[in-house]
Structure 1
Amino acid sequence: MSLKQRMISGGMQVGLSQLISMGLSFGRNIVIGRILSIEDMGIASTIALALQVIESASDINVNQLMIQSKDGDDPQLQANAHTYTLLRGVITAAVLLLLGGPLARLFGVPDAAWAFQLMALAPLIRGVWHQDLWRYHRAMRFGPLVRVEILSQVLALLASWPLAIWLNNYSVMLWVILIQASVVAILSHIA
């Protein structure tokens, strides 16, 4: 297979996996939204949004560096990428832990402060994700990341219904996000 064919095939594979992943995430939110009250779904969405905003503020795309750098296969660069990712996770977790109470009050849900603070586990878990999933892209190996991403979203979707029935409050979103992040963390070291 020529380089052009591999690039097209890889691009289609990654693009399709992103569509599937977004569809599974959307499905998860529909399942949760159909079971929870509007108020609880609003709180769940606010917690997820706060996590996303705080994580985005510290994202310098280390995974892209692993792919694009001429030294992307260098063990020292890989070690630095893992160290940065772990430190970013620890710092982001600390920020969420400290801001959990004030964020909950800001959004008018002071009783949910514990959930905002517990969401600090997500970036901490993401901090131990193995960077090889992205480094494999250098050799046009997209399968490991595709499998990990889709499997983690499938498991999060499958967990959403029983958790929503059992918990029946906004905390279901917290647990589903933590399950998805944990599955990626585990599989990233196996792939």
Structure 2
Amino acid sequence: MSTLAISRGAILSGSAWTIGTYVATLVLRFGSNVLLSRLIAPEIFGMVVVIAAIRAGADLLSDIGLGQNIVNNPRGDRPAFYNTVWTLQVLRGLVLFALCCAFAGPFSRLYGVPESAIQFGAITLAVLGVTSTSPSLLQKKLRLPVLTLFDFAVDLIGIAAMLLLVLWSPTVWSILLGNLISALVRVVGSFLLPEGGNRPTINRHVVGEIFSFGKWIFLWSLLGFLSLNFDRLY
């Protein structure tokens, strides 16, 4: 009975932290978007939307639920498992960066966005691929207060950096650089969290489990991307 009570308490506490931080993040992002709309020209906003949609498409259309695998799998907190996940995540980030660079030319001609801006924006995918698996491990162990505060702090630093850069130079490059700074802060911070250490590992059995579970995540991500971004790309 005591175990059940602790579990319920952890779930309720985690839910409260998650909801509270989510609301605070929404307010923060809404306020920053209002400020950005006053500081930059509409056509720059359009470029940012296109670049963000391309980056999200590359991310979601290759999503096999690496973090979800750690949370869902009973062996997800074992080093052989989460280090294999981290290694696949790093490789995926590099591949996505290379693909975005390769297709930057056609996207540039289609949407009228500078090719170099698309390539620069894709650096974020490679950087985020190095993120430690610590957030997924914290989620698995229901240590949500630490995780939600970390996410909020990263958003706060990233938005502050972006606004300062835009005040200095109201161009698409300032926004992309702000996104990159936010990604770097997330990567560095993730290794400072509890259980933040990772090392390259490939376990063939774990890889099979990841792809077996991830195929359902891929289908859901595909539908989610099309429903949320099709109108933007159109």
What interval of TM-score do these two structures reach, taking the shorter chain for normalisation?
A: over 0.9
Q: State the Cα deviation string for residues 76-120 of structure 1 (Å, max 9, x = none).
A: 1011110111011011111111112221111023xx111101112
Contact persistence 1:163–1:172 (CA under 8 A)? yes
Q: Which residue of 2 aligns with 1:125?
A: 127
Q: Deviations over 1:25-80 (max 9, x none)?
A: 33332222210111111112211121111111111121111112100111110111
Query: Is contact 2:162-2:179 (8 Å) kept?
Result: no
Q: Give the counterpart of 2:96 among 82, 92, 98.
A: 92
RMSD: 1.5
Unmatched tracts of structure 1, length 5 or more: none
Q: Percent identity?
A: 24
Give, in angstroms, the shift of residue 154 of structure 1. 0.5
Distance 2:127 2:171 in 1: 23
Residue in 1 aligned with 2:51?
47
TM-score for the superposition, normalised by structure 2:
0.76
* TM-score, length of structure 1 as denominator length: 0.92
- Partner Cα distance (2:16, 2:105) in 1: 43
Match of 1:165 among 164, 167, 184: 167
Q: How many residues align?
A: 189
Bigger-Rg structure (1/2): 2
1:7 corresponds to which residue?
11
Are residue 107 (structure 1) and residue 79 (structure 2) matched? no
Aligned partner of 1:139 among 141, 153, 172: 141
Of 29-38 and 78-87, the range deviating more from structure 2 = 29-38
Select the residue among 16, 26, 30 that pairs with 1:26.
30
- Deviation of the 1:160 alpha carbon: 2.3
The worse-fitting range, judged by mean Cα deviation, of 181-190 and 36-45 is 36-45
Match of 2:178 in 1: 176
- Inter-partner Cα distance in structure 2 for 1:26 and 1:88: 31
Q: Which residue of 2 aligns with 1:37?
A: 41
Aligned residue identity for 1:176 = G
- 1:2 counterpart SS class: helix
CA–CA distance in 2 between the matches of 1:162 and 1:137? 32
> Contact 2:69 / 2:76 at 8 angstroms: preserved in 1?
yes
**CA-CA distance at 1:173 after TM superposition:** 2.0
User: One-letter code of the match for 2:140?
Assistant: R
Partner in structure 2 of residue 76 of structure 1: 80
**Please, which runs of 5 or more residues in structure 2 have no aligned partner?**
194-234
Contact 1:31 1:160 in 2 (8 A): no
